[in-house]
Amino acid sequence: MGAGRWTARARGVRAAAAAAAVLGLLATGCGGGSGSGDGKVTIRYSWWGAKDRAELIQKTVKLFEKEHPNIKVKTDFSEYTDFWSKFNTQAAGGNAPDVFQNSYAFLRKYGDKNLLLDLNGQADAGNLSLKGFRDGLEKAGDIDGKLLGVPVGANTFAFFYNPDAFQKAGVTVKDGWTWDDFFAAAKKVRKSDGTLYGASDNANVMYLYDLYLRQNGKAFFTKDSKLGFTKDDLTEWWGRWQQHAKADELVPGKKSEQAKPKASISADLSASEFTWDNFLVRFAAETKTTLDLGPVPTTDGKRTAQYLSSLMLSGSARTHHPKEVAQFIDFMTHDPEVGKIMGYNRGIPATTAQYDAYKPQGVDAKIAAYEKSVSAKLEPITPHPAGADVAEAAFLRIYTQVALGQSSMGKAVDQFFSEAESALGS
């Protein structure tokens, strides 16, 4: 018995050693290169969005692969917040997607960390055309002389309203109306319709406050990456909205939280709301109520101070295939077929070639008409420093706590300044 057990044990030892060796091999195998070996180049493309966007993008990717048979595109997508968490993790591991959807708000954040490919070199090499962009959009991704992103679509802020409710209340929305006019209109609508609030409480929307500040000669961020307003300014802005919310003219905080993920206007709670004009596409899917786009209120009766913002495509600075990435971006921004497929899903197409290829119908036609009506008023965009996204999230969250009655105005303003300053400082 003893000898038998001994050999059994020896066999056991050998088996264990073999197992260890296999494990070791596996470990090295995982770290191996990713070359595909058949002369084909594979690039990874990520974006944020929902299923509707995913279906459109898949079509455009197929089109690109047909046009460039030597390039294979691997795609993945997630929701907005998850997208950035995932991106941060991948980028920190040196494994960012070769090309990805980006927006102006993130250019400095990731540009400062040298994560974004400077596309100027590729443009000079002829792999990416910067011609044919509307309204100077080819400059939108230019940060301190580096081209960190190329816009695929542009959007601007708008006043959304329910024309029936406004007509019933006898209010008209016209160019050059003021904030006083807006709040008076909200009050009238509320009085005339018991089921609808006059407006959503948008005091927590950073981009709206930015417009208000710009109308008053300031801006949300300054060029040297600081907040461009004082605590008194913010107290005045938030206080004004609170005053009307307490008068029961705006949607109460709790109701708008409960309506999420819908916006208050698309949940049929309010008759008006401020947001980006291309949201009309989403709202049309969420509510049967007809909505129209109107001008943003002004301070002096003239200036809305609005600007074009855009969704962009950026490349990773660590990509092994900068040429293919540039070709991909070039195709996605210029190809008329792509323009036809995408429509206004990511805002109005940035190049005239795609803009002309798509004939807008229904809500898209409304967006096109709105952008045409404001194109003469467009101004340069406010710079977004690194940390702008964190400041935006804090702005949204902290005012919501005021609207929910969880925080006093003074405390909320202090808290916003402390969070935003620490986000912008680091």
Partner 1 sequence: MTPTTTRAADGVRPPGGTAAGKAAPGTRPAPAAGRRRGRRETLAGYLFLTPWCIGILLLTLGPMLVSLYLAFTDYNLFDSPRWIGFKNFQDLFQDDRWWTSVQVTLKYVLIGTPLKLAAALAVALLLVKPRKGQGFYRSAFYAPSLIGASVSIGIVWRAIFNDDAVVDKSMSLFGWDVGGWIGDPDWALPTLTTLTVWQFGAPMVIFLAGLKQVPGELYEAAEMDGAGRWRRFRSITLPMISPVLFFNLLLELIHSFQVFTSAVVIAGSGTNTGGPGDSLLVYGWYLYEQGFRNLRMGYAAAMAWMLMLGIGLVTAVLFKTQRGWVHYEEDAR
Chain contacts with partner 1 (rule: CB under 8 A): 1-2, 6, 9-10, 12-13, 16-17, 19-20, 23, 79-81, 84-85, 88-89, 91-92, 113, 115, 253-255, 257-261, 267, 390, 392-393, 396-397, 400-401, 404, 406, 415, 423, 426
Rank residues 365 and 404 by Cβ distance to partner 1 and give the closer one.
404
Rank residues 180 and 257 by Cβ distance to partner 1 and give the closer one.
257
Rank residues 88 and 167 by Cβ distance to partner 1 and give the closer one.
88
Rounded least distance, CB 105 to partner 1, Å: 12
Q: Tell me if 269 sits within 8 A of 337, measured CB to CB.
A: no
CB atoms within 10 A of CB 176: 13
Sequence-separated (6 or more) residues with CB below 8 Å from residue 144: 111
Rounded least distance, CB 3 to partner 1, Å: 11
Peptide bond into 261 cis (omega under 30): yes
Rank residues 84 and 179 by Cβ distance to partner 1 and give the closer one.
84
With tokens 């990520």, the residue in question is 46
Rounded least distance, CB 70 to partner 1, Å: 32
Rounded least distance, CB 267 to partner 1, Å: 8
User: Beta strands of 49-149 (E only): which ranges?
Assistant: 71-78, 99-103, 142-143, 146-147
Kind plus residue range of the DSSP H or E element containing 51: helix 51-67
Give φ, ψ of 104 to 5 degrees.
-50, -35
Burial 223-257 (b: 16+ CB within 10 A, else e): eebebbbeeebbeebbeebbebbeeebbbbbebbe
Rank residues 89 and 243 by Cβ distance to partner 1 and give the closer one.
89
Rank residues 82 and 300 by Cβ distance to partner 1 and give the closer one.
82
Q: Tokens in use for 1? A: 């018995």
Rank residues 52 and 67 by Cβ distance to partner 1 and give the closer one.
52
Say how many residues make up the chain.
426
Rounded least distance, CB 301 to partner 1, Å: 33
Rounded least distance, CB 378 to partner 1, Å: 26
Rounded least distance, CB 68 to partner 1, Å: 31
Rounded least distance, CB 276 to partner 1, Å: 13
Q: Rounded distance, CA 88 to CA 71, Å?
A: 26
The secondary structure of 319-363 as a DSSP string is -S-HHHHHHHHHHHHH-HHHHHHHTTBTBEESBHHHHHH----HH
Please choose, from the candidates 47, 126, 74, the residue with its C-alpha nearest in 3D space to the C-alpha of residue 326.
126
Rank residues 20 and 125 by Cβ distance to partner 1 and give the closer one.
20
Q: Tokens in use for 343? A: 């429509």
Rank residues 216 and 401 by Cβ distance to partner 1 and give the closer one.
401
147 DSSP β-pair partners: 142
With tokens 């323009």, the residue in question is 339
Q: What strands lie across the sheet with 348-349, from one edge to the other?
A: 71-78, 41-48, 99-103, 309-315, 150-155, 348-349
Q: Tokens in use for 102? A: 């980006």
Rounded least distance, CB 384 to partner 1, Å: 15
Rounded least distance, CB 161 to partner 1, Å: 22
Please choose, from the candidates 340, 258, 338, 265, the residue with its C-alpha nearest in 3D space to the C-alpha of residue 73.
338
Rank residues 243 and 258 by Cβ distance to partner 1 and give the closer one.
258
